[in-house]
């Protein structure tokens, strides 16, 4: 199963990454093309901030420190294009959509609402995020 990590980049004043990621997670689960093929969890990408009084401060309902990454595992039948398309739709539905950094297998791409308007940018994003699978008879991809 391909795995992706999504981070809000940058965070607007008043909105925390957790609220944005929860909104995106709801969107992905409601997307009929993705819903059953995506397993997701919102978590922390690193240790608690050094200013935290102890390693496990009590969580607040929204905006608690440390919840800054949406980790996705998608079924093998789901393409990166479907995931990117759904994320771009979520961004388009937002009044002031945050940019997202998407990471898969060491590759990072930044998704903004502007990406949906440029077919070449979309092609490069999907190519970078699509799991690479060798094709029969394709030795180097050159013709």
Q: pLDDT 10s digit of each residue in the chain, 143 long?
A: 778 999 987 656 546 788 889 999 999 999 888 877 888 888 886 654 454 444 444 344 444 455 789 998 888 778 888 889 999 999 888 888 888 999 998 889 988 878 878 889 889 999 888 876 554 555 544 44
Number of domains in the chain: 1
User: Does the residue 70 lie in any domain?
Assistant: yes
User: Does the residue 136 lie in any domain?
Assistant: no
Cα 49 from chain centroid? 22
User: Does the residue 13 lie in any domain?
Assistant: yes
Per DSSP, 3 falls in state E
**What radius of gyration, in Å, describes the C-alpha atoms of the chain?**
17
Q: Structural domain of residue 23, as residue ranges?
A: 3-47+63-129
Residue 94 neighbours by CB distance under 10 Å: 13
CB 85 within 8 A of CB 37: no
CA distance 67 to 52: 14
- How much is the pTM? 0.73
User: Does the residue 76 lie in any domain?
Assistant: yes
Whole-number pLDDT of residue 32: 87
Which pair of structure tokens corresponds to residue 50? 């050094």
């Amino acid at each position: 199963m391909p795995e992706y990590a999504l981070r809000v980049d940058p965070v607007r004043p008043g909105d925390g990454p957790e609220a944005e990621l929860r909104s995106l997670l709801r969107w992905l689960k409601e997307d009929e093309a993705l819903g059953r093929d995506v397993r997701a969890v919102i978590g922390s990408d690193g240790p608690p901030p050094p200013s935290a009084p102890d390693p496990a401060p009590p969580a607040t309902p929204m905006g608690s420190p440390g919840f800054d990454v949406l980790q996705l595992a998608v079924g093998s039948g789901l393409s990166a294009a479907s995931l990117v398309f759904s994320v771009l739709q979520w961004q388009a539905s937002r009044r002031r959509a945050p940019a997202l950094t998407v990471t898969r297998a060491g590759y990072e791409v930044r998704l903004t609402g502007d990406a949906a308007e440029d077919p070449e940018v979309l092609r490069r994003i999907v190519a970078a995020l699509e799991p690479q699978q060798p094709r029969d008879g394709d030795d180097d991809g050159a013709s």
